[in-house]
């Protein structure tokens, strides 16, 4: 191969393109390095003529395919100083594929410590860095979980996560809520919902899995859990407690909201806004605001904003409503609302809503006094 490249660059292509230099050809690790005798005119041509560069790469691929039939996967040109570098990639040899598959089988039923030791061993880095190794491990050990989930983006992470999940499922005394279960509920909600419905987790009462249920945001799952508990269910208590976790989703909010006897009037929704604000649950705040009726009596709004002035709600919940309805209020009412935020500041030192409602931009009429 070295002789053929020497003939091509130092005779055939040199005569055709009329560059002055000759090249010393060196082969090294899927690279062919061309070291010029003087500043390279060919390198300048490659950098300035895209068509020439494309045609040259295609010609080089033809030559390389003679020596590596059906193995070339990529060919490209680069430079190092004045040297021209021909880079090419080869398909992995069958023996390497077999080694990856072999180690996948060997470690499919090993302990987590063995896997970590193998991964940290430098001489096996090419195997553990091969995505096929982790795909094979998952298929060999956790194919059941994989079938439920359908699609996995990161097989290595999935493998380690399922190791932890298996440990919890097989434990005789699982603890709830468990940080790993909560994390898995965020990453694999479909899988976790399936496992709960199929009684992979012991259900000891209505407090054990609530945080996970709220993350999964699946009302059918809530029905299943509460239908399979011996405890009397107080949905109002569950509804009020649900906000504490900060993970309550819109679907389960509506489920508990209705089960606990609430309706979609402004009084009940504004109470929910206060609870969601205390939990800093932005997603739920936006959902509750979307359910607020269009026509709200002014007296109800004024009471709501007066309660806000006494604290307990954040700007995330307040801004959409105040911006929409502030035009309904007289300068005197706005002034009174703002005084409420000042009083709250002096009582508690909380300045988050201090002067939120703003001073009236026009004089207060005597009729407003």
Q: 39-67 pLDDT, tens per residue? A: 899 999 999 999 999 999 998 888 888 88
Percent pLDDT > 70 in the chain is 78
**pTM as predicted:** 0.48
pLDDT of residue 35: 92
φ, ψ at 366 (rounded to 5°) = -60, -30
CA distance 164 to 7: 60
Q: For the chain, how many residues are written?
A: 369
Q: How many CB atoms lie within 10 A of CB 298?
A: 11
CA distance 3 to 343: 91
Handedness of CA 160, 165, 167, 173 (dihedral sign): positive
pLDDT over threshold 80, residue 217: no
pLDDT of residue 42: 92
Residue ranges of alpha helices (H) inside 170-265 are 179-187, 189-197, 210-216, 219-227, 235-242, 250-259
Task: Compare 365 and 183 and report the one with higher pLDDT.
Answer: 183
Closest by alpha carbon to 321, among 361, 269, 279? 269
pLDDT of residue 245: 63
CA distance 314 to 301: 16
User: What does the domain layout of the chain look like in residue ranges?
Assistant: 2-90, 93-170, 175-262, 291-369
Crossing angle for the helix pair 219-227 and 250-259, to the nearest 10 degrees: 50
Q: Residue range 91-106: average pLDDT?
A: 60
CA distance 52 to 46: 6
Task: Compare 82 and 90 and report the one with higher pLDDT.
Answer: 82
Report pLDDT digits (tens) over 289-323. 888 888 888 898 888 888 776 666 778 888 888 88
Q: Residue range 4-26: average pLDDT?
A: 90
Report pLDDT digits (tens) over 245-292. 666 778 878 888 888 888 888 888 888 888 888 778 888 888 888 888
pLDDT over threshold 80, residue 213: no
Crossing angle for the helix pair 282-290 and 266-278, to the nearest 10 degrees: 170
């Amino acid at each position: 191969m070295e002789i053929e490249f020497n003939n091509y660059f130092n005779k055939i292509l040199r005569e055709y393109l009329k560059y002055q230099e000759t090249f010393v050809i060196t082969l090294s690790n899927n690279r062919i390095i061309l070291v010029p005798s003087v500043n390279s005119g060919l390198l300048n041509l490659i950098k300035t003529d895209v068509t020439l560069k494309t045609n040259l790469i295609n010609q080089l691929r033809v030559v390389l395919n003679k020596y590596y039939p059906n193995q070339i996967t990529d060919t490209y040109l680069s430079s190092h100083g004045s040297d021209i570098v021909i880079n090419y990639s080869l398909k992995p040899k069958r023996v390497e594929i077999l080694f990856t598959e072999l180690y996948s089988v060997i470690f499919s039923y090993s302990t987590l410590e063995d896997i970590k030791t193998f991964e940290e061993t430098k001489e096996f880095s090419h195997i553990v860095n091969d995505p096929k190794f982790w795909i094979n491990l998952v298929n060999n050990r956790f194919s059941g979980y994989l079938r439920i989930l359908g699609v996995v983006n990161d097989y290595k992470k999935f493998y380690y996560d399922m190791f932890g999940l298996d440990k919890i499922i097989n434990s005789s005394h699982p603890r709830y809520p468990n940080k790993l279960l909560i994390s898995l509920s965020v990453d694999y909600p479909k899988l976790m919902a399936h496992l709960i419905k199929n009684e992979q987790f012991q259900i000891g009462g209505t407090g054990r899995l609530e945080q996970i249920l709220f993350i999964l945001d699946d009302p059918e799952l809530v029905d299943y859990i509460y239908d399979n508990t011996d405890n009397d269910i107080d949905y109002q208590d569950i509804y009020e407690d649900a906000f504490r976790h900060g993970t309550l989703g819109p679907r389960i909010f509506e489920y508990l909201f209705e089960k606990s006897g609430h309706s979609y009037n402004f009084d009940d929704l504004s109470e929910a806004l206060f609870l969601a604000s205390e939990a800093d649950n932005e997603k739920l705040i936006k959902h509750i605001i979307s359910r607020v009726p269009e026509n709200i009596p002014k007296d109800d709004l004024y009471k709501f904003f007066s309660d806000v002035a006494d604290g307990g709600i954040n700007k995330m919940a307040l801004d959409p409503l105040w911006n929409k309805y502030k035009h309904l209020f007289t300068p005197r009412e706005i002034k009174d609302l703002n005084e409420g935020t000042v009083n709250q500041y002096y009582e508690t030192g909380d300045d988050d809503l201090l002067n939120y409602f703003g001073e009236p931009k026009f004089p207060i009429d005597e009729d407003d006094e």
